[in-house]
Structure formats: structure tokens, C-alpha cells
Amino acid sequence: MQGMMMHRPLRISDILSYAAEVHPTGEIVSARTEGDIHRQTYPQTLSRVSQLAHALRARGIGMGDRVATLAWNGYRHFELYYAVSGIGAVCHTINPRLSAEQLIYIVNHAQDRMIFVDTTFVPILEAVKDHLPSDMTYVVMTDRAHMPENSLDALCYEELLDGQPTEMDWPEFPEDTAAGLCYTSGTTGNPKGALYTHRSTVLHALMIALVQGSVFEEGVKVLPVVPLFHVNAWGLPYSAPLIGLTLVMPGPALDGPSLFKLMDQEGVYSAWGVPTVWLGLLAEIKEKGRLPNGFGDVVVGGSAAPRSMIETFEKHGVNVGHAWGMTEMSPIGTHGNMPPDVQALPFDQMIDMKSKQGRRAFGVDLKIVDDDGNRLPHDGQAVGELYVRGNTIVSGYYHNDEATEKAMDAEGWFGTGDIASITPNGILSIQDRSKDLIKSGGEWISSIDLENAAMSHPAIASCAAIAMPHPKWDERPVLVAVAAGEERPGLEEMHAHMAEHFAKWQLPDDLVWVDDLPLTATGKVSKLTLRQQFADYTLPDLR
Ligand code: ADP
């Protein structure tokens, strides 16, 4: 029997209209590329989003057209998220840290019609424009006074909005209409596009709001360091307006001192980003001998949060939420709100629990399987390849059948490429990316576990464990480390430090000091590049 309830299509535009009405004092505070701090409320934002939507239509942008952004976190980028999708077009966020070759590939693959660009990234586009469609329209996201000299024949964002109506009758269309497009950074092969819908985006926003709403009161200030140009800033641009949170956008300055200053001035309570960003902030906290004013919560994800980092934050009284997700999952898969009894555990055990990758979010089904695709139990012990299913997860890649076929299993689940265990109450523990696991003598060693143990040594600022080829054992682990100060412990000292967590054969064969580790376009340690840098390396027992 069919139920008798209305069926209203889920629309992204409804999120901002709701926030403007119900949370009129919620703000978007932005550290601008112009160098100052800018503030606007949700109602003001809605007016400007309406103007931008009219302006886009006036330039012929309509249903399904791709409009790209190349920008930092700021209010204009946020406005593009809503204006573009609001009129049924597709907001394609481009990661400015991609190589020129990848950028050319994705703009052509997505067939973008317009690119909105921050002043800082204009040179990137100038360098590649001859390889982009010749009828492309470029818009620089600033006012006339700050327009840079450029060879793009670019329009000015503020002039585009000028004089446009501040109200919009947002169109209705089927909820499966495409709304956003984000390419994975493509550590292997070309980047692959995740094409989000209005339905997936609104459901994802509700799903996160369910978690955030239980811990953040209306008006709380949240700082997304995680970029709007990748993985939808973990969904914050959509969930924050629903709850009435104020978003503090950091703009281009993401170093520890700049973040500290902004958080301190604005009284940011919760800050979100990848572990590498927090290394900088923690160094500044140490330097200043205090936390930024009002800081009490940090959400870490994108790659494994080192145990030592979680410990340091918690010792300072900052609650750590450790989350896991993927571009292909909108991106949240798990969240860091642990069951209440975890916070009450003895400190070390609490940190152990928080080092895991959080609890399954509602609407995300998880399964782990063995090499033959057989399901493994969620008993916290069995380790297998992780698959996911749900309304906020891609059903395939945009115009890429080959990658789609590889990613989906026969039952329609999406393969994450991660190796994990799951507890009976839905707590996920990522052991490794399958391509980063180290296989020694037929047994697996988790690179994440090795890194966690090594990083708890005070002399190590950051490190990566990678596999090096070995004729007898297949692969052996090598630890590549960046020193925190002058001290450089030897391999034996590191073995002694790590011994209690590992069998002897699992410990690294060598310790190599480097000045810094290569990062991916999303700020994670790039083990692929690191392995390439070590192409001529020979293990000590083979020299
Ligand atoms: P890419 O970095 O390739 O662009 P994503 O940003 O979507 O792609 O990264 C997704 C991957 O990042 C996951 O499959 C997982 O390997 C890794 N990851 C994300 N969060 C965590 C976490 N908390 N712990 C360990 N790994 C994580």
C-alpha cells in the first residue's frame, strides 16, 4: 500500500532560505584575500545569493551547466555554492593545488562554462587558459578596486551582482538534479568526478546536523579549515545554516600563527581540518602557552589523526572528534561523537577510543569483506576491505565507466580502498589504505599503527611508514621522519620506544630523516610521491 504524504523535492536553496528566516543572526565571517575581516548574516547572504543567481541567469547559465570555482574559504565561495545549485546548475569546485595537467583535464572533462576565481589564483588560470575552452567566462571574486591586471578578460564579481534583484523565486526541479561536482585528487590516474544531487546534499546536511546539533548550540562559531574547494568542506556549508552556526572562514592564511590569531579574535569554539593543519596550530599554542580564546573542540579527518595529537589536544581540554569519509561519500562516513561512557574512561583508554575513526553516521551502511568478497563480522577484530552504501554515496563516477566498474561491487556497494575493522556498536577503525599497507613475509603491517607509535616520541614532528621492496620478505617498513627539534634518536631507540605495540618483525628496518614530507593536493602526506622519492633507496641489510 502506498502512503499518503506529500512528496516535495529536496532542494539546496531551501537550506539557506530556512537559515535566513529562522537563524537571522547567524553569520559568515571571512578573512578575505583583500586582507580584512568581512561579516554578513544569513539574511544578507541570501540577498547576495539571489543577486548572484540572477546574474548567472543573465549570462545564460541554466539547468545542468557547470560553473567552476577556484577559491579559498570565504563568503563569496559560499554564495556560489548556493546560487549555482539554486538555479539547477552544477557547482564544480576545483582544487587549486592540482597540477596544471590535472586542472586542464578536469575543466575540459567537466565542460565548465564559467570559472569564478580568487585574486590569488588568477595566475594559475592565466598559465593554462590556452588549454581551456576558448569561450570560457572568467570572474574574479573581488570588487573593482581590487581587480588584478589579468589576461583572462575577466569580469568582476561585485559588479556582476550590482543592481540585480535581492530576491529570488527559487525554481523547482526533480531532487535527483545534479548540484555539485568534485574530483578526487587522483593519486593514481586521472581525477574522478563525484556528482552530487540536491537530494544527496540535503540528506547529508540533515545527517550531519543530527550529530552537530546535539553538541553545538545555535550561534556557536565553527572554523572550516577543510576547504570548500574539496570534499564540500565536510558538508559544513550546508549543515551550519541548518543549525544556525556561525562560520568563520579562514581565507588563504592557514599557518598556525594566522589560524591562532583568527580563532582568538573571533572566539571560534570548533575547528575542522586535516591533521597537518593542526600540527601548525599546536606549535603556536605551545609558543603562546595558551589556547585561542573560546577554543574547545576540534574535528580531525581526511587522514588518520595521530594518537599523540589527540592526546595533546585533550590534555589542553580540547575535545577531539575523529571522523572518516571520502569525496565519494559527500564526504562524511563516520563522526567523532563517541558514546558517553568513552569520555568517562581512564585517559589512556579514552585516547585509544578516539584514535579510532569514529562512529557510523546514520544513512551510511558499512561492510568489510575478505579477499573473496565474503562478509566479515563487525566484532572489532576481523579486518577486511571496507565497502559503503547509502543515499549520500556515489553510484558511479561522472563520465567514467571504467572507474565506476572498478569501484562498485556486484551488490551495488562502493569500494573505499580502505582496510578496516568495525566494532559491534559501529565504531570504525581504519588500518590503512590498501595501497599503503606493508606486506612482509605474507603478513600485513599497518603503516598508520607504525606512524602513531613513532609520533608519540617527542623528537618526531611528523612521519610516514612506507614499504620498501625486499627479495626475501617482499616488503619491509621504513620510517621517514621530520624532526621536532635538534634531537635525532637512532633506530634502536625508536625500536625501544615502539616495541610494546608491535612484534619484532613489524618494526621498521630503517629510519630516514627528511626536512619535510611531500603533501597531496588535499594536505595529506603523499606516500605515492614519497615512494617515488625513495625509488633508488636500498634497505640496510641489502647494502
Ligand atoms: P583524496 O585524498 O584521494 O582526494 P579523499 O579526500 O576523499 O580523497 O580521501 C578519502 C580517503 O582518506 C579515505 O578513503 C581514507 O583512506 C582517508 N581518510 C579519511 N579520513 C581518515 C581518517 N580519519 N583516518 C584514516 N584515513 C582517513
The CATH number of the structural domain formed by 364-433 is: 2.30.38.10
Contact yes or no for 111/133 (Cβ under 8 A) = yes
Tell me if 184 CB under 6 Å of ligand 1. Answer: yes
Ligand 1 centroid distance, CA of 302 (Å): 4
The one catalytic residue in 286, 288, 435, 439 is 439
Check whether domain 437-542 has CATH 3.40.50.11260, yes or no: no
- Atom of ligand 1 lying closest to residue 433 CA: 16
Q: State residue 188's pLDDT score.
A: 60
Residue 34 and residue 146 in contact, taking contact as beta carbons nearer than 8 Å: yes
Dihedral over Cα of 475, 477, 482, 486: its sign = negative
Alpha-carbon span 304 to 334, nearest angstrom: 13
Instruction: List the Cα angle 400/333/29 in 5-degree steps.
Output: 95
Q: How many whole angstroms from its chain centre is CA 366?
A: 20
**Residue ranges covered by each domain of the chain:** 7-17+39-198+221-238, 364-433, 437-542
Other CB atoms within 10 Å distance of the CB of residue 541 = 11
May I ask the CATH class of domain 7-17+39-198+221-238?
alpha beta
- CA-closest residue to ligand 1 atom 12: 302
How many Å apart are CA 107 and CA 121, to the nearest integer?
15
The residue from 126, 187, 444, 529 that is catalytic is 444
Q: Among the atoms of ligand 1, which is closest to the Cα of residue 186?
A: 3
Active-site residue (options: 33, 93, 184, 334): 184
Q: φ, ψ for residue 378 (rounded to 5)?
A: -90, 75
Q: Find out whether the beta carbon of 160 lies less than 6 Å from any atom of ligand 1.
A: no
Any atom of ligand 1 within 6 Å of the Cβ of 418: yes
> 444 an active-site residue?
yes
Query: Residue 416 half-sphere exposure, CB side, CA atoms within 13 Å?
Result: 28
Q: What type of residue sits at position 408? A: M
What pLDDT score does 136 carry?
98
Q: What pairing do the DSSP bridges indicate for beta strands 319-322 and 221-224? A: unpaired
Q: Is 276 in the pocket of ligand 1 (CB under 6 A)?
A: no
Ligand 1: distance of its center to the CA of 407 in Å?
15
Residue 399's φ and ψ, nearest 5 degrees, are 45, 50
**Quick one: pLDDT at residue 190?**
82
* Alpha-carbon span 29 to 40, nearest angstrom: 7
**pLDDT of the residue at 187:** 59
Cβ of 304 closer than 6 Å to ligand 1, yes or no, is: yes
Cβ of 522 closer than 6 Å to ligand 1, yes or no, is yes
Same CATH topology for 364-433 and 437-542: the answer is no
Distance CA(156)–CA(70), nearest Å, equals 15
Question: Of the listed 328, 385, 451, 475, which one is catalytic?
Answer: 328
Ligand 1 pocket test, pick from 97, 102, 303 with the greatest ligand atom count within 8 Å of Cβ, gives 303
Residue 400: CB within 6 Å of ligand 1?
no
Nearest CA to ligand 1 atom 24: 304
pLDDT of residue 99: 87
Ranges of residues in the chain whose predicted pLDDT is under 50:
none
Q: Would you call 402 a catalytic residue per the annotation?
A: no
Give the global pTM. Answer: 0.93
CA-nearest residue for atom 17, ligand 1, is 303
Inter-residue contact 118 to 227 (CB < 8 Å): no
Kindly report the backbone phi and psi dihedral angles of residue 531, in degrees, each rounded to the nearest multiple of 5, phi listed first. Answer: -65, -35
Q: Indicate the top mutation candidate among 430, 448, 520, 526 to test ligand 1's pocket, ranked by most ligand atoms within 8 A of CB.
A: 430
CA of 433 to the centre of ligand 1 (A): 8
Strand partners for 408: 414
DSSP 8-state secondary structure symbol assigned to residue 90: E
Known catalytic membership, residue 328: yes
* Ligand 1 touching residue 57 (CB < 6 A): no
Ligand 1 near 322 CB (within 6 A): yes
